[in-house]
């Protein structure tokens, strides 16, 4: 277990891709801070599952779109599990309903920007001093397919703007912190939906997805395996990248066809 003794904090990890990532990192030796907003029961069940793997875990309620919550989330992780070695910024609000920018409320705009960009930046800012002191750290951001191209995405204007801004921030932070042994990368999942977010590759291998060039739907394991790879000690030369885990799907062009 190459990550034995490391502490990982994964935002939005009670369910979905965050949950699958928590289990993957625990299997590689990490103790894991599980973050949730409303899904307390799911978070506590996940803590038990990680405990059964022989690793420590603790569930912490916090909304990273709120600055005080993000500060408390890291401080509580440090108190319960130790300083954060791996930060996976999985949490981020998304409005699935297709909506023109003019139809968003001001509250929607603030929530999407704070949850997907500002909150992530504040989380990074909070853990960087400890990572610098230890000369080791792994930071993972979440984007969407082809985010690095900064194309238009009609009906997703605010979410897309936040994530495209995060692309630039990912690349900048990677350069600034490389000498401190800290890597910063962005994972861009395909359109992985519902229960598939928590499934293994074997679970979806026999299923068909007509929209996916690969022919099968994506799974949580597809994403979690890539995150675990980026967190390995030997992955220290991989930084500042946006990595699509999408089976070749272009989510923007798919949406435009509808």
pTM of the model: 0.94
pLDDT at 254: 55
Mean pLDDT of the chain: 93
pLDDT at 256: 47
pLDDT at 63: 97
Q: What is the mean pLDDT of residues 127-135?
A: 98
Tens digits of residue pLDDT in 79-106: 999 999 999 999 999 888 999 999 999 9
The topology under which CATH files domain 7-257 is: Rossmann fold (3.40.50)
Q: How far from 195 is each of 25, 89, 161, CA to CA, in Å?
A: 20, 20, 27
Do the beta carbons of residue 172 and residue 208 sit within 8 Å?
A: no
Tens digits of residue pLDDT in 22-63: 999 999 999 999 999 999 999 999 999 999 999 999 999 999
What are the residue ranges spanned by the domains of the chain? Answer: 7-257
pLDDT at 15: 97
Please, which pLDDT band fits residue 127 given cuts at 50, 70 and 90? very high
């Amino acid at each position: 277990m190459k990550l034995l003794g490391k502490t990982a904090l994964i935002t939005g990890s009670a369910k979905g891709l965050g949950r699958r990532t928590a289990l993957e990192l625990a299997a590689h030796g990490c103790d894991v801070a599980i973050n949730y907003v409303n899904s307390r029961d799911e978070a506590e069940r996940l803590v038990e599952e990680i405990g059964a793997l022989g690793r420590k875990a603790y569930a912490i309620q916090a909304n990273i779109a709120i600055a005080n919550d993000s500060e408390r989330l890291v401080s509580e992780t440090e108190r319960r599990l130790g300083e954060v070695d791996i930060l996976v910024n999985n949490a981020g609000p998304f409005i699935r309903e297709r909506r023109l920018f003019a139809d968003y409320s001001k509250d929607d705009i603030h929530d999407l920007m704070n949850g997907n960009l500002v909150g992530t930046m504040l989380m990074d800012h909070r853990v960087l001093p400890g990572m610098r002191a230890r000369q080791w750290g792994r930071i993972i951001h979440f984007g969407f397919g082809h985010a690095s191209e900064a194309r238009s995405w009609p009906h997703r204007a605010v979410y897309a703007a936040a994530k495209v801004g995060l692309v630039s921030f990912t690349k900048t932070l990677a350069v600034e912190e490389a000498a401190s042994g800290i890597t910063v990368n962005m994972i861009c999942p395909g359109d992985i939906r519902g229960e598939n977010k928590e499934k293994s590759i074997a679970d979806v291998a026999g299923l068909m997805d007509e929209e996916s060039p690969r022919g099968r739907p994506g799974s949580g394991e597809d994403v979690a395996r890539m995150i675990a790879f980026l967190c390995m000690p030997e992955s220290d030369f991989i930084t500042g990248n946006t990595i699509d885990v999408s089976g070749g799907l272009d989510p923007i062009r798919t949406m435009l066809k509808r």
